[in-house]
Structure 1
Amino acid sequence: MSQPLRKRGINVPTSIYDSGIHKNVDDIHYNNSTFRPRRSTKLSRYISSIKLGHLMLVSFLWLITLFYFQRIKPGHAIDECEWSKWEHFGTDAEPHRVLLIADPQIVDDHTYPSRPRWIQYITKKISDNYMSINYKHMQEKLRPHSTIFLGDLFDGGREWHDDKKWYDEWKRFNRMFPSYPNRKFYYNILGNHDAGWDKTMNRTILDRFKVIFGDSNDYQNIGNHTFLFLDTIALSATNNNDSSIVEEARYYLNNLTESFLPELDSIQVSKNQNLFPRVLLTHVPFFRDPAQQPCRGPRENKKPFPLVNGGTFQTVLFPDLSNELLNKLQPEIIFSGDDHDYCEIDHMYIVNKKRAGADTSNKQTREITVKSFSMNMGVRYPAAQLLSLYNPLDRPVSQTYQTEICYPYAPFVTLYSYGFLLLVTIIHWVLVSICPSTFIKIQLALYKCFKHLLPKSLISKYSSMGGIYTDKKYEDDLNTPFSPESLKFYEDGYDLERITSGKGLKPRDSRGFWVNFTTQLLVIYLLFSYFYITV
């Protein structure tokens, strides 16, 4: 009789695989047949090392975590800012609603110059995503009629002398803060990070900003209130080599106070209508004495408000300029930025020239410094400011505006959650690949505690993918000598008695760890990319 093509074993009965009578797996060996198994390639070894069940489990955990923090939590946070929860104008009122955003300062190469490029890239993506997703929810859920930015749109705008770089960042800004139809958007307030401060201001950079975003000195009638957009940075540039910067700003201010505003007041009085209250918008806060005017409201920094001139910035306007603007403009409320933290104070002063129809020369103006909208500006809880305006012309009301701070979701809680889950992921793959016996003990303990809570179909499906070893799998498979399952455990290096007692002797699989952990990181990266791109 001719030699069979392939022998599975020497001196081994053919029924041994079925009968279970053979007790020593070492007696099973293969002869030197000319028909040898095909050598495995690197790709096949890579694929065979992947533990699909574990990979799917951890990936699903990341999926639901990202879905919660990127889709559910941001919307719930903005729901708390709903206008009806804090507006008190009356049921018949139709107020004009304004969203105020200060200091987004989108992260660029000038923000953290000492950090490696890849860390700068990650920081930029996380910051962009945070502001973009919160801005989107505010626009879609709160639906403000007007949106106003209070300066410092960019972090390194004053550094970008190259127009191409500036326009690239402008396009990025527009992707993060797009305009919506049938609403008004104002980006024209100039910040010191947009064009510099005093001596560092540059005419070319200043003109470029105005061409794209509009004149930084302007006025608008919004909700029967006169909004005064004031370029206080240009008004403060008294030491700049280009005297035209401050001269243009001064010319606008004089024309505003001597011509337009008095004319507008006289028109309102002649029509027997209420005067339009004035809302002043500035990037740099007005001067104050921190000892006499401490900050009110939810301010994180408990130190007194700083009074600092740093060359490229100044934390408050000069006292003379502050007093001049208060006397000439007499605003009901001032909204400022720059400080990055919330601060609310009152300015008390006596006006030299009363407004038409005003009954007293004693004036009190409220100022709110709006929190930064960015997570990278030194505050743990970024925020925006909501402003509701109601000034009916046919009847006077005691208060024509109401305002409330609006907190998006806390960014660092989210980052800490991601960091914790990454640590759990690393520990999981170390246990699975490097310390399998410990992992089996943990699996058995958890399974015995929670098996009555899990659907049998789920347990069966997961165990079939190599995810968990159930009691039945031990009893029916591993305790049956030379069943396909028990042979596989033998071939993989397990000892039957020690396995069933929770003491597996599976050797450390360092290659399997790196294969599976690298694959897991790739899946996590793809999940982040999906949620961050589809904001």
Structure 2
Amino acid sequence: MPPSDLSVAEEIYRGLASLLSLLWQWIKGPGMHKAAVAAAVVMRQVRRNLTARRLLSFPHLLAFFWMLLLLWGERWIFTSHVSVCDWKNWEKWPKDATPHHLVLIADPQILDPHTNPDWPSPVLATVVAVTDRYLKQGYHALLHQLHPDSLFFLGDMLEGGREWKTRQGHFVDPKWGSRGRTAKEQRWVKTWHRKYGDDFWLREYQRFGNIFFAPWNDAGSKPGPWQRGRKLVASLPGNHDIGFGAMVQLPVRDRFQAYFGEGNRVDVIGNHTVVSVDSVSLSAGTSAQRAEHDLSAIYGPVHEFLDGVQATKRKMAQNELGFWYGIERGIKHKHNVEDLDKADLTRWPRDPGPGAADFPTLLLTHVPLYREPATPCGPQREHWPQKKGSNEKDPANAISVVAGYQYQNVLSEEDSVRLVKSVGNVVHVFSGDDHDYCELVHSDSKENVREITVKTMSMTQGVPTPGFLMVSLWNPIDKDGKPLPGAPEQTVQTHLCLLPNQLSKYMNYIAFTIFSLIILAVRAFFVPVLRLTPFALPPERGGASLPIYKDKIEPPITSSSGTSNGGGGGSTRWAGKKGKHRHRWSTDGSRGPRITINEDYYDGGKAWKTTTTRGDRFSFKVMATEMWTTTWRVTWISVLIWIYLIRNG
């Protein structure tokens, strides 16, 4: 280091040393004294507040009712809503049935900068925290009250997953889709691609996992009776996760599948087959852009999956029956390294062929199947619910058959028919995307299959009352997969479970806030009028001695006849009776002290005389002080309770 730089460093060091020395001297001197004084003041205030009269006062009673309201709004309300949906309250199986309990969650769509890019960061952070907490509370109640055997998500796990740049691969909008963005998105897309990349997406994935994956076994990992185990599947992509149709970007889809799982899959639960199909990629095969561009990389894997899905279903059903009935169908190869041309592959699992056991199938798709415009969704739809018994066209109650940038409300007729026909033996379809409940039976071309579009679980997706769908599966079968005698004809029962309406909860908070202010104002008004004991503490008086006045220190000099003598002489100061100090405390010859403490300093030892004047039964200053003190006390106690409830789940 050059000498000049060294001298500068020494000067800086000396300056810092001097500053620290002065700070230490101040702490040891005036600073320590001020700290001691402050601590003494605090302790005096604590002692003044820790009296039975203040602890059992009206403001604390009101704060207790606020605690009950907050416990109801932040804890008990979710438990009470979900407990009403208990399986035994709506299942209609025989008494000895052991159904498989499945829950379907649609469109949790955790919020991010894509939600509303014009929101300031503090506003977005607040909204994100509130909505994440709502999802956590609803999910926690779901797991602990219902304890499902399986849980499947129906897509749109993230709000802007398709927008966040990938670590590798080409990431720009296709030419045919960039103009479809809204004006707001066009202003922000370059900023998104610059600021939010793969690291941000991974944090969002972790955030989703903290809400839904981590608590999965909190209520216990043991499944219900006669169930192979508990299963959670979140691999079905939505248009917010990877895009829609011709706009799906392969790097985005690859990233989604690498972390959430394969979008096209077959699962066996409760003697039913669940087939999940990536319908957002499937839609690229019937899009208008297919005639001009090669989109096979997008829809090709879905077509390949659908071509072989029935064989996959039969093989999985065969394996399931082998597990329950002990039929040896497993692979029994020795651990040898063999040449592929010489290896015996006859023992590999093979499709048993048409006619083999095939369980009733549930088809899961993010986008609902096609239906005629204005087809009603039924009375349980929250938006303009349909009148019971009415089958007429109802545009307000229906899912609108429209499309736009990165979305399409329903699949095309061609894709819908292809899905049902290819999967085969479909007894029920479940979808998401619309955010509201919709139930209908499709046309003959789709084999009259019943479809339920599941409500969103999020409080910020345009539906005041979120929810989820409960599905009960019971299909008793023999070793060949045939129904046992007495088995039900309908093996699927469903129930819509509604979560709390947050707007209603906040309205209750607002109403009780207004009530609290009114009742505190009424009490503050009557404190000076009825001479009630005030909650506000009087200001502390300086010094520890009683008030002293000049006429009490120097009593008037009296003569032997008891009259005053202003001229005064020491010999006649205590005249009137014999004895040097006989009337030391009295000027009228009576016994007792001149200063009556309970009358001059206190008001009966209970209420301070400073609260009112003797001739005035109302004091605006007293009322205002009482109103402020009681309101502040109730406010900070309630806010601390609310923060505790939020931070502790």
TM-score range, shorter chain: 0.7 to 0.9
Per the TM alignment, residue 208 of structure 1 is displaced from its structure 2 partner at its CA by: 1.5
What's the secondary structure of 1:532's corresponding residue?
Answer: helix
- Equivalent of residue 278 in structure 1, options 343, 351, 361: 361
Q: Which residue of 2 aligns with 1:179?
A: 216
**Secondary structure of 1:334 counterpart:** strand
Asked if 1:87 corresponds to 2:91, the answer is yes
Distance 1:179 1:507 in 2: 56
Which residue number corresponds to residue 244 of structure 1?
297
Q: Distance in 1 between matches of 2:40 and 2:379?
A: 61
- State yes or no: 1:295 paired with 2:409: no
Say if 2:339 is the partner of 1:339.
Answer: no
> CA offsets per residue over residues 131-180 of structure 1, 9 Å max, x none?
21121111111111001111111112222221222222222222221322
Shift of 1:219: 0.5
Task: Give the C-alpha shift of residue 118 in structure 1.
Answer: 3.1
Residue in structure 2 matched with residue 366 of structure 1 by the alignment: 450
- 1:256 Cα offset (Å): 1.7
Question: Which residue identity is paired with 2:380?
Answer: P
Identify the residue that residue 328 of structure 1 maps to in structure 2: 422
Q: What's the TM-score once normalised by structure 2's chain length?
A: 0.62
What is the deviation of 1:272?
Answer: 9.1
> Do the aligned partners of 1:494 and 1:505 also contact (CA within 8 Å) in 2?
no
Amino acid at match of 1:227: V
Distance change in 2, residues 1:489/1:312 (3 Å): same
| 1:90-129 matches, cutoff 5 A | 90-129=94-133
- Corresponding residue for residue 495 of structure 1: 613
The one of 228, 231, 245 equivalent to 2:278 is: 231
Q: CA 1:197–1:241 in structure 2 vs 1: closer, same or farther (change >3 Å)?
A: farther
Residue 62 of structure 1 aligns with which residue? Answer: 66
Q: 2:510 aligns with which of 413, 416, 419?
A: 419
Shift in Å, 1:255 = 2.3
Shift in CA distance, 391/442, structure 1 to aligned 2, threshold 3 Å = farther
Correspondences of 1:3-22 after superposition (within 5 Å): none
Tell me the distance in 2 between the aligned counterparts of 1:310 and 1:516.
55
Contact 1:498 1:505 in 2 (8 A): no
Partner of 1:526: 640
- List per-residue Cα deviations over 1:199-231 (Å, max 9, x = no partner): 432222211111111001101011111100100
Kindly state the Cα deviation for residue 73 of structure 1 after the two structures are TM-superposed. 2.3
Name 1:169's counterpart in structure 2. 204
Q: Which amino acid aligns with 2:85?
A: C
State the Cα deviation string for residues 7-40 of structure 1 (Å, max 9, x = none). xxxxxxxxxxxxxxxxxxxxxxxxxxxxxxxxx9
CA deviation profile, 1:467-515 (whole Å, cap 9, x unmatched) = 9xxxxxxxxxxxx74352469966645224534xxx23435757x8778
| Superposition deviation, residue 442 in structure 1 | 9.7
Q: Identify which of 244, 251, 254 aligns with 1:197.
A: 244
Q: Which amino acid aligns with 1:129?
A: R
Residue 484 of structure 1: aligned partner: 602
Say if 1:491 and 1:94 are closer, same or farther in 2 by CA, change over 3 A.
same
For residues 138 and 465 of structure 2, the distance between their equivalents in structure 1, rounded to whole angstroms, comes to: 13
Q: Residues 526, 91 of structure 1: CA spacing in aligned structure 2 closer, same or farther, 3 A cutoff?
A: same
Looking at structure 1, the residues matched to 408 and 434 of structure 2 have their Cα atoms a distance apart, in angstroms, of 10
1:399 pairs with one of 486, 490, 505: 490
- Supply the distance in 2 between the matched residues of 1:427 and 1:249 (Cα, whole angstroms): 63
The C-alpha deviation readout for 1:409-434, integer Å capped at 9, x for no partner, is 332221111222333455566677xx
Aligned residue identity for 1:532: I
Shift of 1:84: 1.0
Q: Is the 8 A contact 1:236 1:317 kept in 2?
A: yes
Matched, 1:147 2:229: no
Cα distance, 1:47 vs structure 2: 6.0
C-alpha spacing 1:216/1:249, structure 2 compared with 1 (3 Å): same
Separation in 2 of the partners of 1:505 and 1:514? 12
Check the 8 A contact 1:274/1:393 in 2, yes or no. no
Shift of 1:520: 5.2
CA distance in 1, matches of 2:600, 2:206: 66
C-alpha distance in 2 between matches for 1:148 and 1:326: 20
Q: SS state of the match for residue 442, structure 2?
A: strand
Question: Would the alpha carbon gap of residues 80 and 42 (structure 1) be closer, same or farther in structure 2, given more than 3 Å must change?
Answer: same
Change (3 A) 1:422 1:158: farther
1:260 aligns with 2:312: yes
Is the 2:266–2:312 contact (alpha carbons within 8 Å) kept by the matching residues of 1? Answer: no
Given residue 285 of structure 1, which amino acid in structure 2 is its aligned partner?
Answer: P
Quote the Cα distance in structure 2 between the aligned partners of 1:518 and 1:340: 41
Q: Alignment partner of 2:380: what SS?
A: coil
Query: Within 1, Cα distance between the matches of 2:294 and 2:647?
Result: 45
- C-alpha distance 366-509 of structure 1, shift in aligned 2 (>3 A): same
Measure, in 1, the Cα distance between the counterparts of 2:108 and 2:429: 19
Match of 1:349 in 2: 444
Q: Which amino acid letter does the alignment assign opposite residue 220 of structure 1? A: D
Q: Relative to 1, partners in 2 of residues 1:441 and 1:404: Cα closer, same or farther, differing over 3 Å?
A: farther
- What is the distance in 1 between the residues matched to 2:530 and 2:443? 68
| Residue aligned with 2:216, SS | coil
Scaled by the length of structure 1, the TM-score of the pair is 0.74
CA distance in 2, matches of 1:299, 1:443: 58
Q: State how many pairs are aligned.
A: 446
| Paired position in structure 2 for 1:309 | 403
Give 1:72 shift.
Answer: 2.2
Q: Residue 70 of structure 2 aligns to a residue in which SS?
A: helix
Deviates more, 1:396-405 or 1:266-275: 266-275
Distance across 1 between alignment mates of 2:294 and 2:636: 54
List per-residue Cα deviations over 1:271-317 (Å, max 9, x = no partner).
998641110001110110134x3212400112132112121211111
TM-superposed CA distance for 1:97, in Å, is 0.6
For 2:356 and 2:509, locate their aligned partners in 1 and report how far apart those are by CA, in whole Å: 56
Shift of 1:517: 5.5
- Does 2:621 correspond to 1:506? yes
Q: Distance in 2 between matches of 1:443 and 1:197?
A: 72
Whole-angstrom CA distance in 1 between matches of 2:67 and 2:268: 47
Give 3-state SS (helix, strand or coil) of 1:179's partner. Answer: helix
CA distance, structure 1, for counterparts of residue 366 and residue 439 of structure 2? 15
- Measure the CA separation in 2 of the matches of 1:117 and 1:426: 32
Q: CA contact under 8 A between 1:492 and 1:506: conserved in structure 2?
A: no
Identity of aligned residues (%): 30
Question: Post-superposition shift, 1:120?
Answer: 2.6
Query: Which moved further from structure 2: 305-314 or 109-118?
Result: 109-118
Larger radius of gyration: 2
Contact 2:361 2:428 in 1 (8 A): yes
Q: Would you say the 8 A contact 1:493–1:505 is kept in 2?
A: no
2:520–2:631 CA contact under 8 A, matched in 1: yes
Partner of 2:256: 209
* 2:78 corresponds to 1:74: yes
Assess if the C-alpha contact under 8 Å between 1:494 and 1:506 holds in 2: no
Give the gaps of 5 or more residues in structure 2.
Answer: 1-36, 166-196, 223-229, 322-351, 385-395, 479-483, 538-597
What is the alpha-carbon distance in structure 1 between the residues aligned to residue 39 and residue 515 of structure 2? 29
Give the gaps of 5 or more residues in structure 1. Answer: 1-39, 352-362, 445-462, 468-479
C-alpha offsets along residues 381-411 of structure 1, whole Å, 9 cap, x if unaligned?
Answer: 1111000111111314311111111112332
CA contact (8 A) 2:314 2:353 kept: no
